[in-house]
C-alpha cells in the first residue's frame, strides 16, 4: 500500500533505521527500544516513534521492538524485498567503482546491464555486468524491464539523456552527474547525488563546532 504525504525527512531516515537494525541483527541482538536506537543514531526517541507511526504500529509497550521483525517491516517499506531491475549509463571511473563495489543486491536491485560510448569497454564485462553501446539503449529498454537508471555521464548530456529515457518509460533515476535533474512528470523520481554537498556540510560543522 502506498503511503501519501510522508515527509522527505522521514523517508531519508528510513534507510538509516534499516542500516542500524541490520547491524543489530547481525550482532545477534534480539530486542531494542526507541531510546536505545536514538542513542546509537543520535536521534531522539520521540522522533523515532513519530517516524514509525507514519507507517503503522510497531513494537509493544514495555517490550520495545523485536529487531528482526522491525528490520523486516522497514525493509518492506523501503522495498528491499522487491526485485527492481537497474541499468547503468556511463562506466568511467565512478560507474566502474559502483559496479565493482556497491552492494546493489542488498537493496532490492539487480544490475542487468551497463552502457557506454567508449569502444574500449563496449562488449566487455565489469564484475559480471555486460557493457553495451549506448546505441543499443533504446532497443534494450523496449525488450527488458528497467525500473531505475543510474547516470554517471557528463553533465552536458545529463538532462537530454534523462528526457530521452523518460520518453522510453523510465521512471526512476539515481543521478551522479552533478546536475539537478528534473521532470514535469510527477511519476518520474530523481535521486540527485552531489558529493560536494556532503563535504561542504562537514566543512560547516568543523568550522562551527
Domain 8-77 - what CATH class?
A: mainly alpha
Q: Is residue 121 a known part of a binding site?
A: no
Confidence of residue 158 (pLDDT cuts 50, 70, 90): very high
User: Span 75-101, mean pLDDT?
Assistant: 96
Enumerate the domain spans of the chain.
8-77, 84-196
pLDDT score for 63: 75
The grid cell for 1 is 500500500
**In this structure, are residues 31 and 65 in contact, taking their beta carbons and an 8 Å threshold?**
yes
27-50: per-residue pLDDT in tens?
999 999 999 999 999 999 999 999
93-148: per-residue pLDDT in tens?
999 999 999 999 889 999 999 999 999 999 999 999 999 999 999 999 999 999 99
CA distance 146 to 209: 45
Q: Is the pLDDT of residue 62 over 70?
A: no
Q: CATH for 84-196?
A: 3.40.50.720
Question: What percentage of the chain carries pLDDT values higher than 70?
Answer: 96
Q: Is residue 95 a known part of a binding site?
A: yes
Q: Is residue 92 a known part of a binding site?
A: yes
Confidence of residue 1 (pLDDT cuts 50, 70, 90): very low
CA distance 49 to 51: 5
Nearest Cα residue to 2 out of 207, 131, 189, 198:
189
Amino acid at each position: 500500500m502506498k503511503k501519501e504525504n510522508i515527509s522527505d525527512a522521514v523517508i531519508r531516515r528510513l534507510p538509516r533505521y534499516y542500516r542500524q537494525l541490520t547491524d543489530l541483527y547481525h550482532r545477534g541482538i534480539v530486542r531494542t527500544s526507541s531510546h536505545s536506537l536514538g542513542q546509537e543514531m543520535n536521534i531522539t526517541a520521540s522522533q523515532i516513534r513519530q517516524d514509525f507511526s507514519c507507517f503503522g504500529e510497531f513494537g509493544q509497550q514495555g517490550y520495545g521492538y523485536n529487531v528482526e521483525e522491525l528490520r523486516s517491516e522497514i525493509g518492506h517499506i523501503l522495498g528491499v524485498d522487491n526485485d527492481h531491475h537497474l541499468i547503468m549509463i556511463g562506466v568511467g571511473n565512478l560507474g566502474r567503482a559502483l559496479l565493482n563495489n556497491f552492494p546493489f543486491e542488498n537493496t532490492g536491485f539487480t544490475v542487468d546491464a551497463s552502457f557506454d560510448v567508449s569502444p574500449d569497454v563496449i562488449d566487455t564485462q565489469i564484475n559480471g555486468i555486460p557493457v553495451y553501446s549506448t546505441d543499443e539503449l533504446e532497443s534494450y529498454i523496449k525488450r527488458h524491464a528497467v525500473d531505475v537508471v543510474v547516470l554517471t555521464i557528463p553533465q552536458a548530456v545529463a538532462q537530454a539523456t534523462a528526457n530521452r529515457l523518460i520518453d522510453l518509460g523510465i521512471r526512476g533515476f539515481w543521478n551522479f552527474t552533478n546536475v539537478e535533474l528534473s521532470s514535469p512528470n510527477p511519476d518520474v523520481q530523481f535521486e540527485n547525488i552531489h558529493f560536494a554537498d556532503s563535504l561542504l556540510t562537514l566543512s560547516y560543522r568543523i568550522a562551527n563546532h
